Amino acid sequence: MAKIYYDADADLKYLEGKKIAVIGYGNQGHAQAQNLRDSGMDVVAADIKGSRAWKQAEKDGVPITTVPEACKQGDVIQVLLPDEFQPMVYKEHILPYLEEGNALCFSHGFNIHYHQIVPPEYVDVFMVAPKAPGHMVRTMFVDGLGVPALVAVHQNPSGKAMETALAYAKGIGCTRAGVIETTFREETETDLFGEQVDLCGGVTEMIKAAFETLVEAGYQPEIAYFETLHELKLIVDLIHEGGLARMWQSVSNTAEYGGLTVGKRIINEQSRAAMWEALERIQSGEFAREWVLETQANKPVLKALEKQEFEHPIEEVGARLRAMMPWLKKE
């Protein structure tokens, strides 16, 4: 059973008298910085001067400055930048200001686990990773609730890294829901696996393959779109709310029987072998090496794949059909 921590297990005193520098006022940064501030913590955010994020921080009433200045001030430095930018920013703007007694915090373990960032041995290194997008982290906090999170310790020279991590998790509201102890390795490898195998990679390829099958069989693309992509949200929402059982109980008996009998033919032994191959590439560092080299080369493969993806017929059909759905239009 996983070790889970709650409010009673965390004490904000471990952050008292410490300045928390939140590097990156984006999806997670805006939520974590505001929640910490509202928990009574001394917070400063950092982003590009004059950027939209900078202006948003000013609007939110969160003190904001440049990354080097925030790192000069910070005792606990939370790095909330995209994975590919973290090593450069760390080397140029964070490392020069790290002192004994400081702590580095992350919400994803990629750069620590794959040694793209190697902190000095005299700083604590921990992770607090909310399992929800930033807007939900903020909304739940304001409502007096919280979202679950993961917590891990990589380095503990102070002897109090876990206590500080749990205080941080409490400051952003996550111990209200529950914080699960893990490791940087487990969080990183499972996160990458989920993204590649089902959440992003597997799902999109399955949708396109199903769409293409129906169109090639002579069915109208618009009908194929509804049946293979549009209705997926209904199914995912049911699973999200109550697990697989909730979904099976909610769909028709026809859908349940068809799904349970045919699903294993689609996700078969060949599919499972490909999943193991993907996991082994993640565990060995092969995927990390490939991605680091890709970012250093200005992402040529990613850009080419994006172009192919965005030009797929399902995108053209979907754009036309979504224009008929006013409830999808955002302010």
**Residues involved in catalysis:** 108
Say whether 159 sits in a helix, a strand or coil.
coil
**Per the annotation, does 181 bind a ligand?**
no
DSSP state letters, 1-16: ---EE-GGG--GGGGT
Could you give the CA distance from residue 327 to residue 322 in angstroms, rounded to a whole number?
9
In contact, 169 and 41? CB cutoff 8 Å: no
If 0-12 CB within 10 Å is exposed, 13-18 middle and 19+ buried, where does residue 183 land?
Answer: middle
**Per the annotation, does 39 bind a ligand?**
no
**Per the annotation, does 134 bind a ligand?**
yes
Residue 48 to residues 51, 105, 169, Cα–Cα distance (Å): 6, 20, 26
**Per the annotation, does 28 bind a ligand?**
yes
**Per the annotation, does 51 bind a ligand?**
yes
Q: Provide the 8-state DSSP code for 324.
A: T
**Per the annotation, does 284 bind a ligand?**
no
β-strand pairing of 4-5 with 179-181 = antiparallel
**Per the annotation, does 90 bind a ligand?**
no
Name every residue whose Cβ is closer than 8 Å to that of residue 242 and which is 6 or more positions away in sequence: none
Sheet holding 64-65, edge to edge: 4-5, 179-181, 149-155, 124-130, 103-106, 76-79, 19-23, 42-46, 64-65
- From the list 316, 139, 309, 314, the residue with the least C-alpha distance to 232 is 314
Q: Provide the 8-state DSSP code for 216.
A: H
Say whether 46 sits in a helix, a strand or coil.
strand
β-strand pairing of 64-65 with 76-79 = unpaired
CA 278 to chain centre: 19
**Per the annotation, does 253 bind a ligand?**
no
**Per the annotation, does 306 bind a ligand?**
no
Q: For 126, phi and psi rounded to 5 degrees?
A: -140, 170
Query: Taking the CB of residue 36, how many other CB atoms lie within 10 A of it?
Result: 26
Output the known binding site for NADP(+).
Answer: 25-28, 51, 134
Output the known binding site for Mg(2+).
Answer: 191, 195, 227, 231
Output the known binding site for substrate.
Answer: 252
Output the known binding site.
Answer: 25-28, 51, 134, 191, 195, 227, 231, 252
